Structure 1
């Protein structure tokens, strides 16, 4: 048996794995990446980018709806799901070609197949094209990601429900789609599929959507879903399923007081993620997992095995592509004598519904739980001129301000929310007080300009620390310069 040796062996070509491989290979280190199926990982193939591509197609439908009052006049139109799919696939094909070109230009070897450890730092790869190879790395990096979890419900697996992967490949429009889970994936798909024309029902076990967010955020999202015509069944437990997703299914659902049968054509599972560590035979490599199957790592992302690191979702990192990229930077820093760690990272995130929900830092619920002194300032998005120009006045923004005027956290639910959040994130990273935002000259009319309005026109509240309310000059912003507008 021939064992091929490499300086770096990367298992999985997701965000962290591919960037680490490309960087080390460019530095002249012999590097191999083993990828089971999706070149570049889930983000460019079946997750972040394809889903936002489809969401944008759904928004196009909403924009030509005469109820928006945008003055767009059109004849009759229909949704062409094959066209939506073609646009998405065209983007993925271009991204795949870009990834392949980068592997070639950097010199990192891409091995298509499934890896399984046979001993420490050594894997057997069942090649997709047939045959096997045995690879050993002086250093090994795991970046195998996660997959949608299938709840253990009688009949559910037999019904062959969709996950986000299959939902992004639909060439037909589901007549009635039932979504299991009111989290990020569930809400994004619910709105998009409803706009395409499907009837949509969300089954949520808890009593709120996005239960980790503050109650006012959950309430705002509930109202958004309802305004789109989406049914939500809270405090509902799926008991059993009969039939086949894609044709006809019956779901037995138990609520607090009764049981009922929900009839639908399709099921989409969006109820959590499971790590792709179960087929790696990690025990042969002395790599320990936690009780949920994620790789145990320290703040430098080192595993229990010498010279083995884990990055991204499979390491239990927050499940965002941008966190995977930072995991790459953490590992690279430590490989090259740096001291970067995962400790104390300021991680932003965004829900790409329309409008968006974006957040960075501490939530109000977290501050109250930790008994951290704070003030809240809140403003309706209708007070932001940019929102008026877009006729998208739904939503609000709020900031948590500490005792020294520092920004503890920021949440915004509204159009272009992710861009506003990025401004606040930079201010937080620079430890700038909120008063710095007030004195900043933002372009008019932009979403970022609304941050000035937040701190000067917003409502300040603090039931715990009312003596901390600031004295802010009530600046008249109606005289903002019109240059460039």
Structure 2
């Protein structure tokens, strides 16, 4: 390094640039905090290493749903005769699928950059690390170093796909969701490690593009934390679509090169087996991006799993330093990260808002979807919460019949002492939209009878709520847990 450059760096480190707010990471919560407080007149800077706007719109939620929708369109081509349409010559063009996804991502990134410009928040592209309390050193791609100090600091650095220390796994260069969304070819045989939300979404999409797919999961069933009837419905769906599922299976060694040929040695319920495929996709959990960024120098403590320790106000162990999103251990959903923004925004401005007791709705975008808000039966039983159960098949909803989408069911848990809705789950077409209506009723504290007695437009999927809640056992009749 030239002496002049060394002098410049030393001078920069001794006199940091002052900001009222620094945000490390530009994910959902971070960007919203930057834009909003900049509009309040705060001198604000966001530091982003690579993905402007965070993972959701670049490499996760939105691009994956874009690709999943392309796969659903492909499934309609295969089912065309069911709808009275004669099949013609057609094929999957993965380069076209990728181009559609890339265009959406570019448009979204352009929108984010415009928001930074309009709000007055400064966007700094570079790698950031703490070098002291509320002090961040930013190194750009071309080696320029800046030192920043903030009166308030928000950490929003997200997570990355976990690659287990299975012998040979890292060496085969497996796909994660990032690389899977950039595929310009259809793998011959994709082996997916993990039967959680990410794994099942990709499994169905890739199968519908024409790929042979095998899911390998160490747990006894897919999305194992959910109720058994949900897992069973997903297993049945995958069986019908030709997706192989190996549960209770632990990988012991991996050999080869993903994208060419791979061989997996595994143990399933005490028996040894070997799997061979062309590609591996790792979808077995997330790891916070907290290593190597100087959190100890900033006085920010982490948990035993590497997540940043926060209280119910999302304050870290360092004064005036906050953490939001997945790195803070918040549920791994973009809508929760957005709620983190509201909490920190209000608290920075002197208010008092907490994470305690907030609802965590979610939707798994298989086809059909699975969505839930509130308690599942599993959670209720584990917590000793008594409930009344109502459940109907989607085939009881006439709109589902018009769509030829009758697979699935709805169910609700109702308090035994009142008519309060404790939880709602649906595995079926447009599950996320149906769930949202029930969630609004739960937020408002409405009894289930408000939905039971409602007048919904015919024929719509929401009509199913009338049938569902008409199946609730009256509170005067003694009921036991299902």
Alignment TM-score > 0.5, same fold: yes
Q: Residue 442 of structure 1 aligns with which residue? A: 456
Instruction: Give, in angstroms, the shift of residue 68 of structure 1.
Output: 6.2
Instruction: Confirm or deny: 8 A CA contact 2:414 2:422 kept in the other structure.
Output: yes
| Contact 1:66/1:73 (8 A) holds in 2 | no
Tell me the TM-score normalized by structure 2.
0.95
- Distance in 2, matches of 1:394 and 1:361, equals 23
Counterpart of 2:465 (choices 445, 451, 456) is 451
Q: Which whole-Å CA distance do the structure 2 matches of 1:236 and 1:126 have between them?
A: 43
State the shift of 1:186 in Å.
0.2
Partners in 1 of 2:477 and 2:140 — Cα distance? Answer: 65
Contact 1:295 1:315 in 2 (8 A): yes
- Provide Cα deviations, 1:361-397, integer angstroms capped at 9, x if missing partner: 0011111112112100000000001101100000001
Contact 1:350 1:356 (8 Å CA) reproduced: yes
- Indicate which of 246, 256, 266 corresponds to 1:253: 266
Matched residue, 1:472: none
Deviations 1:65-111 (Å, cap 9, x if unpaired)?
14761122231111000000000000001001000000000010000
Q: CA deviation at 1:257?
A: 2.8
| RMSD, matched Cα | 1.4
Q: Which runs of 4+ in 1 moved over 4 A?
A: 459-462
Do the aligned residues in 2 keep the contact of 1:179 with 1:200 (CA within 8 Å)? yes
| Residues in 1 aligned to 2:291 and 2:473: alpha-carbon distance in whole angstroms | 50
Structure-1 residue corresponding to 2:391:
378
Q: Call closer, same or farther: CA 1:47–1:369 in 2, change over 3 Å.
A: same
| Structure 2 residue 293 is the aligned partner of structure 1 residue 283 | no
Shift of 1:58: 0.2
Once the two structures are superposed, residues 430-476 of structure 1 have per-residue CA deviations (whole angstroms, 9 ceiling, x without a partner) of: 110000002222111111121011112x47599xx96149xxxxxxx
Query: Which residue of structure 2 aligns with residue 322 of structure 1?
Result: 335
Offset at 1:131? 1.4
- Higher mean C-alpha deviation, range 95-104 or range 336-345: 336-345
1:217 corresponds to which residue? 230
Provide Cα deviations, 1:395-454, integer angstroms capped at 9, x if missing partner. 001000002010000000000111110000000011100000022221111111210111
Say if 2:187 and 2:278, in contact at 8 Å, map to a contact too. yes
Aligned to 2:162: 149
Asked whether the equivalents of residues 419 and 447 of structure 1 are also in contact (C-alpha less than 8 Å), the reply is no
* Structure 2 residues without counterparts, runs of 5 or longer: 1-10
The residue aligned with 2:8 is: none
Match of 2:187 in 1: 174
Query: Is it true that 1:467 corresponds to 2:481 in the alignment?
Result: no
Does residue 1:159 correspond to 2:184, yes or no?
no
Gaps of at least 5 residues in structure 1 are 470-485
Which residue matches 1:414? 428
TM-score, with structure 1 as normaliser: 0.94
1:130 Cα offset (Å):
2.6
Q: Does the 8 Å CA contact 2:473/2:479 hold for their aligned counterparts?
A: no
Counterpart Cα distance in 2 of 1:397 and 1:66? 25
Counterpart of 2:69 in 1: which secondary structure? helix
Determine which of 262, 268, 275 is the counterpart of 1:262.
275
C-alpha contact (below 8 Å) 1:183/1:209 kept by paired residues: yes
Instruction: Find 1:118's aligned residue among 126, 131, 154.
Output: 131
1:346 maps to which residue? 359
Partner residue, 1:240: 253
SS in 2 for 1:372: coil
Alignment partner of 2:437 out of 409, 419, 423:
423
Question: Does structure 1 retain, via aligned residues, the 8 Å contact 2:134–2:149?
Answer: yes
How big is the shift at 1:349?
0.2
In structure 1, the residue matched to 2:4 is: none
Distance 2:223 2:234 in 1: 9
Q: Report the 3-state secondary structure (helix = DSSP H, G, I; strand = E; otherwise coil) of the residue aligned with 1:341.
A: coil
Partner-residue secondary structure (3-state), 1:137: strand
**How many angstroms apart in 1 are the aligned matches of 2:339 and 2:141?**
30
Aligned residue number for residue 482 of structure 1: none
Q: Name the SS of the counterpart of 1:282 in structure 2.
A: coil
Q: Distance in 1 between matches of 2:106 and 2:87?
A: 32
Contact 1:407 1:428 in 2 (8 A): yes
- Name the structure 1 match of 2:242: 229
Which of 45, 50, 54 is the aligned partner of 2:63? Answer: 50
Shift of 1:248: 0.4
Q: Deviations over 1:168-199 (max 9, x none)?
A: 00001100000000000000000000000000
Per the alignment, residue 476 of structure 1 pairs with: none
Distance 2:179 2:266 in 1: 24
Q: Describe the SS at the equivalent of 1:302.
A: coil
Q: Return the alpha-carbon distance in structure 1 between the equivalents of residues 241 and 472 of structure 2.
A: 29
Q: How many residues get paired?
A: 466
CA distance in 2, matches of 1:209, 1:282: 36
Cα distance between partner residues in 1 of 2:223 and 2:72: 22
Structure 1 residue matching 2:366: 3-state secondary structure: coil
Cα deviation, residue 129, structure 1: 3.2
